[in-house]
């Protein structure tokens, strides 16, 4: 109702996205309803990206949701936007690799790894461990 009353309110949109995050994480939805809600969530995330172009956190949510929907085209697009706008952020590379792992695309995985190694990425211990796990 709040979104219908004020569709241009970024605060309301953020609250709606947070609601979706919590709702989807609870694991209470069955297959068809879950897919329907994820499609709606995707639309809400796209709305935010229209309002705030290439918002990092929203792109990550979009990428992960697209993977859940097996919409790898949308996931690839979000990963590319992350790499273009945040090339030094470890989450950019972790999420880009996540897409290739989910797709089981070994060639693309190697391409992303090569691109990643050419950047002075700021890594945390967690990030290093995550990438090392996927490299195995």
State how far the Cα of 112 lies from the Cα of 24, in Å rounded to an integer: 29
Distance CA 116, CA 101 (A): 15
- pLDDT tens track, the chain, 136 positions: 888 888 788 999 999 999 999 989 888 888 899 999 999 999 999 999 999 988 999 999 999 999 999 999 999 999 999 999 999 999 999 999 999 999 999 999 999 999 999 999 989 999 999 999 988 7
Report d(CA 129, CA 105) in Å as an integer. Answer: 20
Non-local (6+) Cβ contacts of 114 within 8 A are none
**Which spans in the chain are helix H?**
2-5, 10-25, 31-51, 56-68, 72-85, 90-103, 106-117, 125-135
Residue 96: count of CB within 10 angstroms of its CB: 25
């Amino acid at each position: 109702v709040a979104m219908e009353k004020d569709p241009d309110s970024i605060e309301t949109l953020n609250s709606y996205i947070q609601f979706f995050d919590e709702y989807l994480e609870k694991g209470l939805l069955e297959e068809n309803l879950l897919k329907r809600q994820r499609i709606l969530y995707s639309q809400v995330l796209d709305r935010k990206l229209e309002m705030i172009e290439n918002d990092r956190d929203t792109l990550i949510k979009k990428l992960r949701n697209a993977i859940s929907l097996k919409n790898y085209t949308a996931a690839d697009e979000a990963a590319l936007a992350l790499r273009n706008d945040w090339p030094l952020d470890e989450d950019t590379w972790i999420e880009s690799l996540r897409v290739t792992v989910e797709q089981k695309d070994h060639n693309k995985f190697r391409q992303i790894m090569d691109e990643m190694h050419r950047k002075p990425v700021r890594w945390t211990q967690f990030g290093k461990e995550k990438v090392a796990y996927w490299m195995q």
